[in-house]
Amino acid sequence: MSHAKKGKVTDIGELTEIAKKIRISILHMLTRSGSGHTGGSLSAVDVAVAIYFSKMNFDPGNPGWEGRDRFILSKGHAAPLLYAVMAEAGYFPAETLDYLRRVESPLQGHPCCRKLPGVEVSTGSLGQGLSVANGMALGLRLDNNPARVYCIMGDGEVQEGQIWEAAMTAAHYKIDNLCAVVDSNELQIDGPVEEVMGIQPLHDKWEAFGWHTISIDGHDMEEILKALDEAERVKGRPTVIIANTTKGRGVSFFEDKAEYHGVTPTEDEFHAAVKEISNG
């Protein structure tokens, strides 16, 4: 029995429309708060939408339900993405999105599990999410719990050594109830990832670390769904999906611009962006 409030969505058109709504919610939050991360929140929307609305089992009315699948946003600065998805999934009223980064708001600048039920772990210190995902997945296995763990990392985050320690651990212990995703938008706050600290060949590296590795267009909903299905079928080793994405995806004047990593839209940019997304 699925505990997802709205059931599993498999129609690509419907998932695409949800992704548009999520992008607009992200921009609304960021514009209203005047603080936060635009580019990396927008780049991972399609993958996050597919995971939450097509794959995961969860119950917004009972966030601690033991049978739930777990989602970890390791790149915690993309918190507006997680909040927009959670609101759409029914964890809290959409009006709460107006309070991003406010004092005492449950929607802090990085996800906080002590303030917002449904957030599995507080993230934001880059490099730690995959280790936590390993622990959760191993714990589920020890409990004979069939739930799965999903973890989204940034490609700049993959420069962190702890990621590769966690990668070795997951392969060593054959953690096949774990699916990691690298949001590979090729930009980080200081510029192109390959100029700051090169990580290529990324696909070959994950394969060499013992992972089943799938490279996809991270904005093609059909490819995303196929990759997630494939990950579920793999036994005996963890799976990583390298999602090749565009920073700021959906808004032409934000796309592929490192300066919009941590800059929020102006009011004029917000209205122009909403119009572009709606007509896209």
**Confidence class of residue 196 from pLDDT cuts 50, 70 and 90?**
very high
Closest CA to 171 of 212, 200, 132: 212
* Residues whose CB falls within 8 Å of the CB of residue 10, separated by 6 or more in sequence, listed in order: 54, 225
30-44 average pLDDT score:
98
**Contact assessment for residue 60 and residue 118, using Cβ atoms and an 8 Å cutoff:** yes
For 213-241, write each residue's pLDDT tens digit. Answer: 999 999 999 999 999 999 999 999 999 99
pTM, two decimal places: 0.96
| pLDDT at res. 151 | 99
| pLDDT at res. 280 | 83
* Residues whose CB falls within 8 Å of the CB of residue 151, separated by 6 or more in sequence, listed in order: 71, 72, 74, 129, 130, 132, 133, 178, 179, 180, 181
First to last CA, the chain: 35
The answer on pLDDT for 5 being more than 60 is no
The answer on pLDDT for 3 being more than 90 is no
Task: Quote the mean pLDDT of the chain.
Answer: 96
Fold of 12-279: Rossmann fold (3.40.50)
Rounded to 10 deg, the angle between the 12-33 and 267-279 helix axes is 180
The answer on pLDDT for 17 being more than 80 is yes
For 241-269, write each residue's pLDDT tens digit. Answer: 999 999 999 999 999 999 999 999 999 99
For 65-124, write each residue's pLDDT tens digit. Answer: 999 999 999 999 999 999 999 999 999 999 999 999 999 999 999 999 999 999 999 999
Closest CA to 109 of 94, 123, 96: 123
Domain ranges within the chain, ordered by starting residue: 12-279
The answer on pLDDT for 14 being more than 60 is yes
Q: What share of the chain is helix, strand, coil (3-state, %, to 5)?
A: 45, 10, 40
145, exposed or middle or buried, with CB in 10 Å at 0-12, 13-18, 19+?
A: middle
In degrees, rounded to 5, the angle at the alpha carbon of residue 108 between the alpha carbons of residues 152 and 182 is 10
| pLDDT at res. 1 | 35
The answer on pLDDT for 199 being more than 80 is yes
**Contact assessment for residue 47 and residue 224, using Cβ atoms and an 8 Å cutoff:** yes
